[in-house]
């Protein structure tokens, strides 16, 4: 497998280190580059363009770095990053900004206040999508997930007789196996984010696990 590149654009070194450790534990053969402000990020992406770098890459971008000037700066970096997917990892002022970012061509928006699994799932989807689509247009993650929901989530579940799950808990489990982050699960089922987290907490207790990854590992064979 050819190494995949990750550009971590965040002005907090502790945050960059934490993301690097998270991704390094989850994916093989990643090469990391770092930037801490708008100018450095633009310079790095310009170098990628000048060298016609066709290597699979993902950009993880903080909106509140020095030099960032709202959506204008985002658009500039999106243009420089193309065709590589850009994931915003930040805190947003409103839901309107979220929809503006997706409309502009951002691949996904992950919130720093949410579970780190959200960012992990977005990066996984971005890497898989970039690998599979080659020169095809890169779809926003909302569209990718809507397509995924038509596949593994429709498979019949066959839990062991000694584990009884409610219909809502089965819905949560299907969503986990489809790779949906908590925010997308909430949107899919019309639930508040806190309600989703409560459902997952109870599901993990019922399964005797402590995390999403453990739940996925334990129940992978339940799909017929």
Residues 113 and 18 in one domain: yes
Residues 74 and 161 in one domain: no
Question: Is residue 41 predicted with pLDDT exceeding 70?
Answer: yes
Return the SS3 of 141. helix
End residue of a domain, out of 110, 139, 168: 139
Q: Would you place residue 67 in the very low, low, confident or very high pLDDT band (cuts 50, 70, 90)?
A: very high
User: What is residue 43's predicted lDDT score, i.e. its pLDDT?
Assistant: 96
End residue of a domain, out of 113, 139, 165: 139
End residue of a domain, out of 139, 173, 193: 139
Question: Is residue 155 predicted with pLDDT exceeding 80?
Answer: no
Supply angle C-alpha 127, 82, 181, rounded to 5.
35
**Dihedral over alpha carbons 155, 161, 167, 170 (to 10 degrees):** -50
**Dihedral over alpha carbons 112, 178, 215, 158 (to 10 degrees):** 160
> Could you tell me the two tokens for 129?
């999508």
Higher pLDDT, 155 or 83: 83
Residues 25 and 110 in one domain: yes
> Could you tell me the two tokens for 57?
């890459």
Compute the 3-state secondary structure of the chain and give helix, strand, coil in percent, each to the nearest 5: 55, 10, 35
**Residue 144: inside a domain, yes or no?**
no
> Could you tell me the two tokens for 63?
């909106």
């Amino acid at each position: 497998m050819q190494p995949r590149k990750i550009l971590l654009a965040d002005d907090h070194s502790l945050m960059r280190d934490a993301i690097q450790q998270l991704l390094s534990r989850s994916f093989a053969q990643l090469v990391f580059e770092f930037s801490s402000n708008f100018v450095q990020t633009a310079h790095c992406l310009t170098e990628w363009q000048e060298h016609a770098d066709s290597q699979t890459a993902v950009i993880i971008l903080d909106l509140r770095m020095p030099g960032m000037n709202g959506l204008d700066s985002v658009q500039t970096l999106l243009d420089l990053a193309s065709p590589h997917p850009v994931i915003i990892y930040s805190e947003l002022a409103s839901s309107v900004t979220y929809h503006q970012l997706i409309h502009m061509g951002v691949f996904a928006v992950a919130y720093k206040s949410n579970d780190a699994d959200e960012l992990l799932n977005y990066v996984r989807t971005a890497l898989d999508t970039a690998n599979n689509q080659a020169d095809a247009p890169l779809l926003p993650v909302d569209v990718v997930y809507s397509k995924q929901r038509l596949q593994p989530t429709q498979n019949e579940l066959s839990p062991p007789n000694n584990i009884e799950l409610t219909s809502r808990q089965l819905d949560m489990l299907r969503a986990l196996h489809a790779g949906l982050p908590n925010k997308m699960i909430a949107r899919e089922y019309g639930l508040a984010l806190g309600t989703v987290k409560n459902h997952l907490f109870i599901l993990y207790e019922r399964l005797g696990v402590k995390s999403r990854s453990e739940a996925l590992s334990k129940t992978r064979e339940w799909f017929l």
